[in-house]
Amino acid sequence: MDRNQLLKALSAGEHDKATIGNVVDLLLSMSAAVREKTAGDVDELLGLISELQDDVAQLKDMVAELSSRVTALEAEQQS
């Protein structure tokens, strides 16, 4: 049975074991398909998050370096 046939059967009040088994099989296959499709997306997002964390760490280092340069320039100007 395809999805539409299952929905019609359930709407018509057919709640026998075969229909319920078919519904469970359909839900399991849909769930597996969703997991399969999103697994790559999740891995890709985790990779992007890791890259962003690296970029943020580099930016923090750059800001710290610039801050120390500004402090050194201010000290020179006050001398």
Q: DSSP E strands: which ranges in the chain?
A: none
Number of domains in the chain: 1
Say what the pTM is: 0.51
Report pLDDT digits (tens) over 23-54: 888 888 888 888 888 888 888 889 999 999 99
Spatial distance between the Cα atoms of 48 and 54, rounded to a whole number of angstroms: 10
What's residue 1's pLDDT? Answer: 67
The one-letter amino acid code at 64 reads A
Report pLDDT digits (tens) over 49-78: 999 999 999 999 999 999 999 999 999 999
Share of the chain above pLDDT 90, in %: 39
